[in-house]
Structure 1
Amino acid sequence: MSAPASRPPLPELPVVLRPTRTRAILLSGGSVIVAVFTVIALLLPGEGKAGWHLGDRIAFIGSGLLILAVLTLLSRPKVLADADGVTVVNLTTIRRLAWAEVLRVNLRPGDAWVHLDLADGTSLAAMGIQPGVDRAQAIRDARILRALAEAHGTGSPAR
């Protein structure tokens, strides 16, 4: 996104930006894994010396649930923009920023996700906009966030 492009119209706030295709893949895949692990646990033989006991079956299903929990955590990132600022939800952190704190929105070729340049001189990864599975959506979302930051924050060319 280094070349200036036509600025998208500002969306009605609040707006949620997230990698929807990635999220759908992760959550459906996790659900399928839990279902498969549950079916396998129920179909395993229970009689004889090499039989599976109730604890073994519960552990097998629990493993599927643990995989689903990890995939749900990976599907968590999003960026929420409202009139007062932006909230960046990453894997394990949530950070609320006023628009004045966001100087620039960057999505360079090869970046795994958007980076926000902040007024305190630091940079914040916004994992909710990632070009991994759907590059076109990530570019659209980054442009929307950039336009919002320019319209509401200190990154505005008019200021």
Structure 2
Amino acid sequence: MSTPAEFPVTWAPRRTRAVLLPVCALLVVMFAAMAIALPANWQLNDRIMMAVSGVLFAGVGLMLARPRVSADAEGVTVVNFVRRRRLAWAEIVGVNFRQGDPWATLDLADGTSLAAIGIQSGVGKAQAIADARALRDLVARHSG
């Protein structure tokens, strides 16, 4: 049985962020450079849309870099691609990370479940399992 993590603790796919953030910056620079380097027969609105396209692509990359799960004495904050949700410890009844699952799932007291994408197998299966166990131990310690 793993030892529960101490507060505050955050689980996030750091390698994914380390790749995505520079790529997003590169996209903005690259599309801006393309907008400037377009042939003279391209109009201003074409150049603006080229630059805006780079910003949009970078925005998608930043959205993919968002997921994380943070725990503190009051509860857990789950930040997924688009949404952020704050949960009190009593709202979480279980943490699942089954074989083949891409990320951990929280079972909630209201009968629903919530994907915790910040704990994902893409960072390494062993690390993801250890992170899910640490969160499960924290839930067991603070929910009862």
Fold-level similarity (TM above 0.5): yes
How big is the shift at 1:149? 0.9
1:18 and 2:12 correspond:
yes
Provide TM-score, normalisation by structure 2. Answer: 0.89
1:81 and 2:71 correspond:
yes
Q: Give unmatched runs, 5+ long, in structure 2.
A: none
Residues matched between the structures, number = 144
- Structure having the larger proportion of residues in strand: 2
Considering only CA atoms, is the larger Rg found in Structure 1 or Structure 2? 1
1:120 and 2:110 correspond:
yes
Question: Within 1, Cα distance between the matches of 2:127 and 2:44?
Answer: 46
1:45 and 2:39 correspond:
yes
Over the residues paired in the alignment, what is the CA RMSD in angstroms?
Answer: 1.6
1:137 and 2:131 correspond:
no
Q: Give unmatched runs, 5+ long, in structure 1.
A: 1-5, 155-159
**Amino acid corresponding to residue 105 of structure 1 in structure 2:** V
Which of 19, 22, 29 is residue 35 of structure 1 equivalent to?
29
1:26–1:71 Cα contact (<8 Å) kept: yes
How big is the shift at 1:133? 4.0
- Structure having the larger proportion of residues in helix: 2
What percentage of aligned pairs have identical amino acids? 53
Provide TM-score, normalisation by structure 1. Answer: 0.82
